[in-house]
Amino acid sequence: MFKYVVLSLSFCFFACATQTTGTAQKFKTAEEYSKAKEFKPGKLVIVQGPTSDHETNINVLAPRLKNYIYIVVTPDGKELAVEKYETIQPEILLWKIDKLNIKNLEPNKDYTLKVVDEFRSSKTTVDTRTFRALDVKGYKARFAYASCMADDYRFTEVIDPMWDRMKSLNPDFIILNGDVVYVDSFEFVERKKATELDIWQRFIDSFNRLPMYKWTTLKPVFATWDDHDFGTNDGARDFPSKQAARKIFLGFFGGKNIPGVYQLENESVYFSLNAFHQRMLFLDDRYFRQPNKEQKEAEKFAHWGEKQHNWIMNTLNADGTPAWLFNGNQFFSGVDLSYKESIQSNNPAHFQKILEDLKSVKAPVVMASGDIHFSEVMRIPTDKLGYETYELTSSSMHSYTGSGWDNPLRVPGAFSKEFNFMLINSTSKDGGLEIDVESWGLADKPYFKNNFRVRK
């Protein structure tokens, strides 16, 4: 007992008397931390998902025993209604996803989201973020475009500066086009064997490591998957955990449909975004895919399945609004290499059908892909679709990279094998698109810049 008293007294002496270290850095006392009612942003994983000019969806990864209170405040201090329309709470997890929908927003205003923990009749703000709506009625989309983000220890020094670069360029929104989590990295989960728990755990670990999900200023994210976030390398329709993977992926990135702007088709993860006088179709290259290996016949709809294929073409034929097609794998192979996937190489019969159908729809299209761990721009000559267009491939944010390969379709100079993402300005004009693209990474200037126009 005596000893305890002495220790208590000496603790009080240092804690109460000292508020600075030798380098004069201020810190709170332990008692102040214990009694604090507000903490620095970034405790939780928070994703701002599908968003329009008046509505947004926000998904919060919360501890399963907490019933957090969510408060949204306008710039002039008024509270907006927050609808918690769903909680995804698997029994096997210590976490749950609270799915929030907020309406009555206006573009170009900063809103605040507060996450409040009420515990034993005391309230603590455990996380605070700001967010905006998107000016989807305009003509210009300014977004960061990225794929392939490994949380492997090898990239420890790279991950933070890469996301700092993206944050400093301040895009209006972010498009993630696959391999946003490496479920079957060689550290934890064997290929083709991922269970639902494996997928949850890899998503949660990876999202806790990637800075974007902790940013004080949220950015709307629109995402589709490729093989590694689907759950297995070169995955296809025969992957046993594909329904669990879909639930988890949409849990983090999905939201309520926003009429006229965001529409999930409820088949797998594919959806459309109708914004900036453009359409963006986010495609699913895994859920319905014919497995690459041991193909006895090249199926006519091998890459997307017939229903998704018809949805794409019907959407593009509804009117002439110019469109982007985002697909994890490359559309055009450029060169045929046994270890690299593309629609052209893996699904040649479907590839021919896609070209034929794209020729006849009303809308001009630009293609965008990821996956290959370098970035490039391909010019697609007029004989393919009846007009000149382009395919942009953005990869990797931080993942394993080799030396790449030559590609006869590549626009000279439009290539980078450094860690990078694209910053894209896409303007809808005269029935077509004017596109500026820059490849950004650790360097303080772009690795390449390119601009082009697509018109039917």
Give the residues lining the site for Fe ion (CB under 5 A).
148, 179
Identify which of residues 179 and 438 has a Cβ nearer to Fe ion in the complex.
179
Phi-psi region of 137 (alpha: psi -120 to 50; beta: other; left: phi over 0): alpha
**The tokens of 271 are what?**
């959806």
**Minimum CB distance to Fe ion, residue 372 (Å):** 8
CA 278 to chain centre: 19
At closest approach, how far in Å is the CB of 228 from Fe ion? 6
Q: Least distance (Å) from Fe ion to the CB of residue 178?
A: 7
In 3-state terms, the chain is what percent helix, strand and coil (to 5)?
25, 35, 45
Q: Which is nearer to Fe ion, 179 or 285 (CB)?
A: 179
Looking at beta carbons only, is 199 or 385 nearer to Fe ion? 199
Q: What's the min distance (Å) between Cβ of 399 and Fe ion?
A: 5
- Chain position carrying tokens 């998704």: 308
CA distance 52 to 33: 38
Cβ proximity to Fe ion: between 241 and 329 the closer is 329
Looking at the Cβ atoms of 111 and 182, the one nearer to Fe ion is: 182
One-character DSSP codes across 334-365 = SS--TT--BHHHH-HHHHHHHHHHHHHSSS-E
- Provide the token pair at 189: 């989960």
CB of 125 to Fe ion, least distance (A): 37
Give least dist CB 179 to Fe ion, A: 4
Between residues 51 and 395, which has the closer beta carbon with respect to Fe ion? 395
CB of 296 to Fe ion, least distance (A): 28
Q: Which residues have a Cβ under 8 Å from the Cβ of 129 and sit 6 or more positions away? A: 41, 46, 112, 113, 215, 216, 217, 218
- The two tokens of residue 171 are 């895009």
Determine the Cα–Cα distance for residues 91 and 94; give it in Å rounded to an integer: 8
Nearer to Fe ion, 233 or 314 (CB): 233
- Residue 123: CB minimum distance to Fe ion, A: 43
Shortest separation between residue 439's beta carbon and Fe ion, angstroms: 16
DSSP lists the bridge partners of residue 123 as 118
- Of 414, 397, 368, 410, the C-alpha closest to 141 is 368
Nearer Cβ to Fe ion (177/427):
177
Residue 85's closest CA among 97, 72, 77, 73?
97
CA distances from 88 to 25, 235, 348 (A): 42, 25, 39
Report the distance separating Cα 438 and Cα 425, nearest Å: 9
Q: Which is nearer to Fe ion, 53 or 227 (CB)?
A: 227
